[in-house]
Amino acid sequence: MEDFQVLILAAGKGKRMKSKLPKVLHKICGKEMINILIDKVKKAGFKKIVCVLGFKNEEVKKVLDKNIKIVIQNPQEGTAHAVLQSLPFLKKQHILILYGDHPLIKKETLKKIAQFHKRTNADLTLLITELESPNQYGRIIRDCEGRIRKIKEFLDLRGSERKIKETNPGVMCFKKEVLEDNIKKIRRNKKKGEFYLTEIVEILYLKRAKIREVKSIYPEEEGLGVNTFQDLIRAEKILRREILESFLKKGVKIFSPELTLIDLDVKIGRDTVIYPFTVIERNVKIGKNCIIGPFSHIREGTIIKDNTEVGNFAELKNTFVDSFTKIKHFCYLGDSQIGKKVNIGAGTVTANFDGIKKHKTTIGDGAFIGCDTILIAPVKVGKNAKTGAGTVIPKNKDVEPNSVVIGVPAKKLIKK
C-alpha cells in the first residue's frame, strides 16, 4: 500500500449524540472509535494517514498517534470542504477516504478496495452496503444500465428512491489527480449550506470517468455510522460479539458470552476459563490455564500470568500477578506487584491512593495474606511472609521475608 494515503474525516461535532464529547472520542469496547478505525487502517497495510479534525480538536489530538498528520477544518463546511483543506498534505497516487464515525469497517475490506481500485485502474471506487433498513443514510442512484450515477442524501430523496437499499458508508478511493481536478466543482448544498463530498460521484459520472464498486459482505456492520447513542450501543454489541467469538476460536472457554464483557486490546491465553459476569477492560493480559470470575473486574493495565485464579468479586487495577497465585474472593488490588504462589485471603485491600498520589504494593513469592488484611501503600511484603486475619500494614512498614505479622497496626509475631 505504498502508493496509497488514507484520509479520515473526523471534524464533526455529532449533534445528534447530544454530548459535549467529540463524536469520534466516544468509546466502543473501551477504545475511542477513531482509534478503532485507525488500527484497522494500519493492520490493512496503510502507512500514511491524515486526519481532518474540527470540533474540540485539541481533545482528539491527545488520543492520536503522533505519526498521524492533523489538518484542522475551520470553519466546518462539510465533507468536501474538509477534503479540500487536506489536499496540500495528500502526496500519494491514490487516496482512500474514510469517515471517523464508521469504526466497524473490516481491515480486509479496506485492503480489498485498494487492491481492486488499483487493479481496475479506476478513477473512483466506492464501497457499497446493501441494508435492509437504510433509514437516514444517502442512497446509491443508478442509471438505466445499472451504472452508479450519483449518491443522493436522505433529505433529497423522493418517492421510490427511499426504498433503495444500497448505501455508501463514506468509503471512497480516488486517483489523486481525479480528486484534485473535481473537488472544487462541488457546489454548496442549498438545504444544509455545506459542501458534500458525495456530489463528486455525479460530477465524475457526467464526465464518463471510470467508477467502480466493491460490495460489502458485512453490510450491517460496515454500513453502520455512529450518529446517536443508540448507534453506539449497536456498534458495541456487534464488536463485543466479534471479540468473544475470536477468543472462543483461540481456545478460551467463556461459559456465558452474553454475560461477559471483554474490551479491545485484551490478550487471553489458551485453556483459560472465564466465568459469567466478568468484565475485562482494555490492555489486560491474561495467561494460559487461568480461572477468572465469576463477578471479577480486571481493569486496564493488569497482567495475570499462567495458572492463576481470580475469583468472585475481585477487582484488579494496574496489577501484575505472577503464576500459580490465588486471589479467590472479595479483593481489591491496585497498583500492585504480586509474586508466584501467593495466596490472597478474602477481603484483602491495597489502599493505594492517599488522596494525591497512587502508590505501589509489592508482595513476594509464596506470601500468605490473611483474610481482611489492609495494605497501606507504599509497602512491601517479603517472600513467604504471612499476615494474620484483620491485619493492617501501615505505609512504609515493610514486612520481612519469612515473618508473620498480626494486629492493627501490624506487629511481628514472635514465637516463644
The single-letter code of the amino acid at 53 is: L
Q: Which of 81, 94, 117, 329 is catalytic?
A: 329
Could you tell me the three cell numbers for 173?
Answer: 478511493
Please name the helix (run of DSSP H) or strand (run of DSSP E) that holds residue 412, with its range, or none: strand 411-412
All residues at 6 or more sequence positions from 409 whose CB lies less than 8 Å from its CB, including other chains? 392, 393, 394, 397
102 is catalytic: no
d(CA 98, CA 103): 10
Could you tell me the three cell numbers for 180?
Answer: 484534485
Asked if 238 and 259 count as a contact pair (C-beta separation under 8 A), the reply is: no
The single-letter code of the amino acid at 106 is: K
Nearest to 218 by CA among 239, 233, 198, 190: 239
Query: Helices 33-43 and 107-119: crossing angle, nearest 10°?
Result: 50
The DSSP line for 69-137 is EEEE-SS---HHHHHHHHGGG--SSEEEEEETT-TT--HHHHHHHHHHHHHTT-SEEEEEEE-S--TTS
Could you tell me the three cell numbers for 292?
Answer: 477468572
The CA-based angle 182-188-189, given to 5 degrees, is 120
E strands in 139-290: 139-142, 148-152, 166-167, 172-175, 211-215, 253-254, 261-262, 267-268, 273-274, 279-280, 285-286
**Which residues are the active-site residues?**
329
